[in-house]
């Protein structure tokens, strides 16, 4: 990981039995950050097959601050060969977030990262719905995302009863017209601009796969407007929050 002055890096990476270096996540914590106690960072979600791939870190913040969970959610793969693994991950991750939320004692949870799903083809896919069953667009993956929005409120492996939505995707806090105008997407797909299509601006499109999910109570405490990165045009991926 590259050094960042004034911050301590924390990271998790895949290793045996998974392919070494295949996946990983990182988190930088500001040096000297104390909120009525030390910040504790833990790796994994308590599901060994997923933890071997180094896909999640959790920062536990004392002093009534929300916990922060970052994730690189498994892709279902070409031909959906890993869809079963993805579904198992989604269930385990939902349970993990629920447990973190409980441990936070009402302080709430913030989930950020590459969630590898476009939840709504009307809003999150450039140029209209994709055809067929494609990784990131399946009903199963969207169901996993919907369960995560409850932050474990019945959407995990052992959950039951009526689910209640507790989370809010930051991008949904941006008016759709503004989001479409700014071209805020996580995965930019190269597209040929048709004649008269408006030049460079017409190429701003793709899928929204990266999200920040904020507990509704945390959002209500104030602060900030989600924005998209405009410095990454032309790159394959671009994180936005």
Q: Structure tokens of 196?
A: 């008269």
Whether the CA torsion 239, 40, 225, 166 is positive or negative: it is positive
Catalytic residue at 72?
Answer: yes
C-alpha 184/C-alpha 179 separation (Å) is: 6
SS3 136: coil
116 is in an annotated binding site: yes
Backbone angles phi, psi at 79, to 5 degrees: 70, 10
Of 51, 72, 95, 215, which is the active-site residue?
72
Q: Which two tokens stand for residue 67?
A: 């916990």
**Which uninterrupted H or E stretch holds 109?**
strand 109-114
Strand partners, 113: 71, 211
Q: Is 114 annotated as a binding-site member?
A: yes
Q: Measuring CA to CA, which residue among 39, 32, 28 is closest to residue 63? A: 39
Residue with tokens 């140029």: 127
Check if 114 is active-site. yes
| Options 51, 114, 124, 210, the catalytic residue | 114
| Helices vs strands, H then E, count in the chain | 6, 10
Annotated binding site for Mg(2+): 114, 116
Catalogue the active-site residues: 72, 114
């Amino acid at each position: 990981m590259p050094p960042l002055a004034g911050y301590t890096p924390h990271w998790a990476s895949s290793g045996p039995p998974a392919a070494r270096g295949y996946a990983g996540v990182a988190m930088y914590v500001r040096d000297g950050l104390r909120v009525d106690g030390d910040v504790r960072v833990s790796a994994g979600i308590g599901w060994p097959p997923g933890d071997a791939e180094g896909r999640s870190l959790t920062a536990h913040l004392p002093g009534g601050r929300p916990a922060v969970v970052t994730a690189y959610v498994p892709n279902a793969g070409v031909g959906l060969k890993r869809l079963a693994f993805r579904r198992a991950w989604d269930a385990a991750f939902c349970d993990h977030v629920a447990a973190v939320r409980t441990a936070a004692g009402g302080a709430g949870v913030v989930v950020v990262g590459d969630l590898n799903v476009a939840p709504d083809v009307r809003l999150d896919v450039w140029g209209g719905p994709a055809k067929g069953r494609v990784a990131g667009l399946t009903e199963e993956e969207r169901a996993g995302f919907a369960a995560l929005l409850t932050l474990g409120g019945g959407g995990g492996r052992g959950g039951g009863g009526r689910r209640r939505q507790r989370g809010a995707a930051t991008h949904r806090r941006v008016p759709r017209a503004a989001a479409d105008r700014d071209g805020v997407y996580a995965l930019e797909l190269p597209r040929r601009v048709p004649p008269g299509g408006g030049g460079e601006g017409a190429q701003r499109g793709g899928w929204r796969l990266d999200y920040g999910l904020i507990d509704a109570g945390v959002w209500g405490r104030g602060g900030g407007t989600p924005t998209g990165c405009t410095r990454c045009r032309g790159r394959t991926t671009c994180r936005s929050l």
